[in-house]
């Protein structure tokens, strides 16, 4: 199946550090979504982006919809131990009746206290 | 707790068999989505139903089918199971904002 290029694949950081991850694709997306998944649970939506260039924050999280509509990034500021988990980007392709979601391969984040 | 429930939590079966996974959406949500998460393929969107009708289709195999009932719960049927179908299957639901989906805890399917 299709997947988005998400990087980095994993990262270890110190508590308090800022984190940045991104997703790129050769396809143009209508919507970008960022999820966090904890072990044994389903993904939880963090941020949804609907317009090219849009910059949206949710607490310590900030995400942007790339101008080309082919990429997006997520920043986490001042990381804390509970930020540990896998972060996925997802893009929506197409329109009602024909659309689908494509997911990134995930960024596994580990925070060292 | 997202409000989306899935049963069973775990399912172990043999190749060639057929199983049914069940999902109850959050109260008031009309849309249900099914996803498959495996180690090699990652998260894959399978299909969406809205108020009983199929709305969008992703990478769903012909051996798989789904439906949404009048009470809005949904079932995903997987038949002629293969080893590669072993995965976590998630259901999600949404209200008016289709992209703001709430995921259930998943069903872990193991095909032996």
> How do beta strands A19-24 and A31-37 pair?
unpaired
Taking a contact as any Cβ pair under 8 Å apart, which residues of chain A between 29 and 58 contact chain B? 31, 33, 40-45, 48, 50
The pLDDT value recorded for residue B33 is: 95
pLDDT digits (tens, 9 = 90+) for B1-18: 889 999 999 999 999 999
pLDDT (average), residues B73-86: 97
| Minimum CA–CA partner of A33 in chain B | B99
Whether residue B47 is predicted with pLDDT greater than 70 in this model: the reply is yes
The pLDDT value recorded for residue B2 is: 86
Please check whether residue B90 touches A, CB under 8 A.
yes
Over its C-alpha atoms, chain A yields an Rg (Å, rounded) of 14
Q: How far apart are CA A92 and CA A101, in angstroms?
A: 5
Q: Which residues pair with B91 in a beta bridge?
A: B34
Residues of chain B neighbouring A102 (CB-CB closer than 8 A)? 45
10 Å CB burial of residue B46 (0-12, 13-18, 19+) is: buried
Q: Give the pLDDT band (50/70/90) at residue A96.
A: low
Please check whether residue A26 touches B, CB under 8 A.
no
Cβ-Cβ contacts under 8 Å for B14 (sequence gap 6 or more) = B81, B111, B112
Q: Give the pLDDT band (50/70/90) at residue A98.
A: low
Residues of chain B neighbouring A97 (CB-CB closer than 8 A)? 55-56
pLDDT digits (tens, 9 = 90+) for A15-74: 999 999 999 999 899 999 999 999 889 999 999 999 999 999 999 999 999 999 999 999
Residues of chain A neighbouring B30 (CB-CB closer than 8 A)? none
Q: Give the pLDDT band (50/70/90) at residue B98.
A: confident
pLDDT (average), residues B9-38: 96
The pLDDT value recorded for residue A40 is: 85
């Amino acid at each position: 199946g299709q997947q988005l290029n998400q990087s980095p694949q994993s990262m270890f950081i110190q508590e308090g550090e800022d984190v940045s991850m991104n997703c790129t694709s050769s396809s143009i997306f209508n919507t970008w979504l960022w999820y966090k998944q904890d072990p044994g649970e389903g993904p939880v939506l963090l941020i949804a982006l609907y317009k090219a260039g849009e910059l949206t924050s949710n607490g310590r999280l900030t995400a942007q919809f790339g101008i080309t509509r082919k990429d997006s990034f997520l920043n986490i500021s001042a990381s804390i131990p509970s930020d540990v988990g896998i972060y996925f980007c997802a893009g929506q392709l197409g329109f009602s009746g024909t659309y689908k979601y494509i997911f990134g391969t995930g960024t596994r984040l580990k925070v060292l206290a | 707790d997202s409000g989306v429930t899935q049963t069973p939590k775990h399912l172990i079966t043999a190749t060639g068999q057929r199983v049914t996974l069940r999902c109850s959406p959050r109260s008031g949500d009309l849309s249900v989505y099914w996803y498959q998460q495996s180690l090699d393929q990652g998260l894959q969107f399978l299909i969406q139903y809205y108020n009983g009708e199929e709305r969008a289709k992703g990478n769903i195999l012909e051996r798989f089918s789904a439906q949404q009932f009048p009470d809005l719960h949904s079932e995903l049927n997987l038949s002629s199971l293969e080893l590669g179908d072993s995965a976590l299957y998630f259901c999600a639901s949404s209200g008016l904002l289709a992209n703001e989906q709430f995921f259930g805890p998943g069903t872990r399917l193991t095909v032996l």
